Amino acid sequence: MKPKIIVARPIFPEVISHLQPYFEVTSNQDDVPWTEQSWTDQLSQQDGAFTFTTDVVNENILKHCTKLKICANMAVGYNNFDVPAMTRYKVVATNTPDVLTQTTADMGFALLMAAARRVAESEHYLRAGQWHQWRFDMFAGVEVHGSTLGILGMGRIGQAIAQRGAFGFGMDVIYHNRSQLSSEQEIACKARYVSKQELLEQSDHLVLVLPYSKESHHVIGQKELHQMKPTAVLVNIARGGIVDDVALAQALKEKRIAAAGLDVYEGEPQVSPVLLTIPNVVLTPHIASSTVKTRMAMAVLAADNLISFFTMGKAINPLNPQVLSHQA
């Protein structure tokens, strides 16, 4: 008998076809919204799950899911997973690193450029029929080439952004991370390690690429925004909750920083209403990895984590490998 898995949200039909030879697949291709209770009821019947960042797996749910052995997240982030609880319940958690690094770094730079050069503001102005004559200072933004690029969180995506800045735009790259990169890694992306305070004070453009956790909640708040240059641009392509969106909205309104580019938000898909009224912020709906090629690669990797686990007893990208050791 095939193991039972559930695909929690719509996905490429080709990926469903990829899974079907190995599993009895329940697929939510109609994107039916589930309450916590209905999601728990669905999950409790499964051996495995193909999940997305909107699908919470925590203690309250796991205690009802005695059959569940693995949840494969189609994302590099996994703050929807309570990994310690999953480990206690001997449920393997996986994610999809590497395959979205370059695409996400591209989007980070797109937001940086759009915010710095006031692309969204000027487009809205033009579309509203307000452009009647040229002025020398019309939508004058802040320089990108040759400026200082700061990166908070220096994993794969952070390093890819650093390389774009250093080699593509001649930027002076500084970063802060929980641990300093090796000298070889720093040379590869021409990046220099600094303290968090130095990062905030020196960056012309600050890109956030760190994972969400209790420790990183509101790591950029009112205090940190006050430490930044009034000409600085803030970009968040990491996770909502890393930035205090209310404090950021206030800083943007008061021009304490010049602009921001955001792809993630606290409580998304809801967005702070104040942010929606501010012209000097570029807003996108969590699409940093959204190209067809990359999303397909992410989906296939999530599927392959499930297939590998059930056919070979090991996952490709386990977040809690000790569960596999225990099962072995």
User: How far is 112 from 313, CA to CA, in rounded Å?
Assistant: 43
The single residue of 198, 201, 266, 268 carrying the catalytic annotation is 268
Could you confirm whether 14 is annotated as catalytic?
A: no
DSSP string for 107-128 = HHHHHHHHHHTTHHHHHHHHHT
Catalytic residue among 156, 286, 295, 326: 286
Tell me, yes or no, if 268 is annotated catalytic.
yes
Q: Which of 307, 305, 323, 325 is nearest to 97 (CA)?
A: 305
Between CA 94 and CA 125 the distance in angstroms is 45
**Residue 168 DSSP label:** I
Which residue in 113, 115, 98 sits closest to 157, CA to CA?
Answer: 98
Q: How far apart are CA 73 and CA 304, in angstroms?
A: 11
Q: Which of 20, 93, 15 is nearest to 4 (CA)?
A: 20
For the record, the structure tokens of 324 come out as 């596999």
**Contact by Cβ (8 Å): 226, 248:** no
Nearest to 264 by CA among 319, 211, 203: 211
Residue of 214, 209, 215 whose CA lies nearest to 289: 209
Cα–Cα distances in angstroms (integers) from residue 256 to residues 152, 203, 250, 252, in the given order: 20, 14, 8, 6
269: buried, middle or exposed (CB in 10 Å: 19+, 13-18, 0-12)? exposed
Per residue in 114-141, is it b (16+ CB within 10 Å) or e — as a string? Answer: bbbbbbbbbeeeeeeeeeeeeeeeeeeb
Q: Which of 239, 256, 295, 326 is catalytic?
A: 239
| Closest alpha carbon to 201 in 162, 257, 145, 163 | 257
Catalytically annotated residues: 239, 268, 286
